[in-house]
Amino acid sequence: MSIHRQPHLKEQIQEIYTAESRRVFASLVRLLRDFDLAEEAMHEAFATAMQQWELEGVPENPRAWLISTGRFQAIDAVRRRSRFHELAPHVAARLEQVAEANAAINDQEIEDDRLRLIFTCCHPAIDPKVQIPLTLREVCGMNTEEIARAFLTSSSAMAQRIVRGKAKIRDAGIPFVVPSITDLPERLDSVLSVIYLVFNEGYSATSGQSLTRTDLSSEAIRLGRLMLELLPDPEVLGILALMLLHESRRTARISTNGDIILLEDQDRTLWSQPFIDEGKQLIDRSLASRRFGVYTIQAAISAVHADAPSAADTDWSQIISLYDILLRANPSPIVQLNRAVAIAMRDGPEAGLAIVNGIIDRGDLKHYHLLHSTCGELLCRAGRESEAVDFFRRALELAQQEPERRFLETKLRRMASDTL
């Protein structure tokens, strides 16, 4: 095995953990057929890496090394357990097969393991309410508290959902495979939902110090490309286009200090033109099918932004028309909120506020910080800053992400100083 020595081993292993840990975990789940055993084996493999790589250097293919090490450590760990053959004969038999297998691991199998795991977590036998949380936990490595916040429920309730999902996979013998081409269409919606949630967590993290997590958004795009190879459905084209168009703006969204830069203030020369071009081509292919859905419509909205050389040149009427179509297909309060912003940009803040106030009066999105920050922003633009303060304060109470909190704190400080 080819190795190379690197300084700052701890930092290097942390980078590898961030980039590769969930891929390693997915491969170990496939090999071991046990979520908890795979999680334990993954952490043991990284602990072993800290010791061995200090002496031997970092392997040329760290992921394959970690999978191999974790696999054999799992075998050893289970063998050491008391009454092993009585307690877990099915696991024992499986691990014996693994132990006898060729140590070489096929690279393509490893690449596809996260997609396999998504299809496993989204199997029709699993309660739909469990599928997405289970995938976010096991495929993306989000912790239970983060997932619970995203679903507006308690950590204990979410933990029970995830445990039920893993038990169902084990007890029902759900296979760790990508389904056949005949079964793919009926499984598509749930899998695309998960891939887009993975992307969103990478594009705008729900909490933490950083606005973005490049590893997750890049992985979601890779999975989208894999899905397109498996099934060139219009909505697969649409979701990949949507992710690429959003991702094209990544560099322009954050200042050198890690602070948020709003869309209208971004330097559009920093937007990735190759991603924009590819995204628009995918939209054209999806629209030509005449069978497109919500992802393609959202992508088309992003494409209108991408076509505008400046914020002032944005075709808001076209965006509103697309939101009208989207609202018929998906009448959600978040779509209504986004449409309200577009209307405010075209017709003035009071027009947007009329819609936002309706959302607030219905009690929709009351725990969604962007509803309150949007209302605050529109009130400011309407010259009603004294009313806006309470909405920005409420948004700050709800925001979990540090860049968003800094943005809101700065906004409130400036408003306070303006009133002195």
Structural domain boundaries of the chain? 1-105, 315-420
The CB-side HSE value for 416 (13 A sphere, CA atoms) comes to 9
The whole-number pLDDT of residue 419 equals: 64
CB 141 within 8 A of CB 25: yes
Please state, in angstroms and as integers, the Cα–Cα distance from residue 186 to each residue in 124, 176, 287, 353, following that order: 9, 17, 21, 40
Would you tell me how many other CB atoms lie within 10 Å of the CB of residue 379?
22
Distance between CA 278 and CA 300 in Å, rounded? 13
Strand partners, 58: 4
pLDDT tens across 101-158, in order? 433 444 445 557 878 888 888 888 898 889 888 988 888 788 888 788 767 688 999 9
Q: Which of 243, 250, 263 is nearest to 213 (CA)?
A: 250
Length of the chain as a residue count: 420
Could you please state the CATH topology (level 3) that the domain comprising 1-105 is classified under: Rna Polymerase Sigma Factor; Chain: A (1.10.1740)
The whole-number pLDDT of residue 92 equals: 52
Level-2 CATH architecture, domain 315-420: Alpha Horseshoe (1.25)
CB 344 within 8 A of CB 335: no
Q: Which of 344, 67, 65, 327 is nearest to 57 (CA)?
A: 65
Q: Which two tokens stand for residue 211?
A: 């606005």
The whole-number pLDDT of residue 109 equals: 52
Please state the pTM of the whole predicted model.
0.74
The whole-number pLDDT of residue 191 equals: 86
What pLDDT tens digit does each residue of the chain (420 aa) get? 444 445 588 889 998 998 888 889 988 988 888 888 899 999 999 999 999 998 888 999 999 999 999 998 888 777 766 444 454 555 555 545 544 443 344 444 555 787 888 888 888 889 888 988 898 888 878 888 878 876 768 899 999 999 999 999 988 888 888 777 777 777 788 889 888 888 887 777 655 555 567 777 888 898 899 888 878 899 999 999 999 999 999 999 988 888 889 999 999 999 999 999 999 999 999 999 988 999 999 999 999 999 999 999 999 999 999 999 999 999 999 999 999 999 999 999 999 999 999 999 998 888 899 999 999 999 999 999 999 999 999 999 998 888 889 999 998 998 888 765
The whole-number pLDDT of residue 163 equals: 93
pLDDT tens across 22-44, in order? 889 988 988 888 888 899 999 99
The whole-number pLDDT of residue 88 equals: 54
Concatenating the DSSP letter of every residue in 334-399 gives HHHHHHHHHHHHHH-HHHHHHHHHHHHHTTTTTT-HHHHHHHHHHHHHTT-HHHHHHHHHHHHHH-
pLDDT tens across 289-302, in order? 988 999 999 999 99
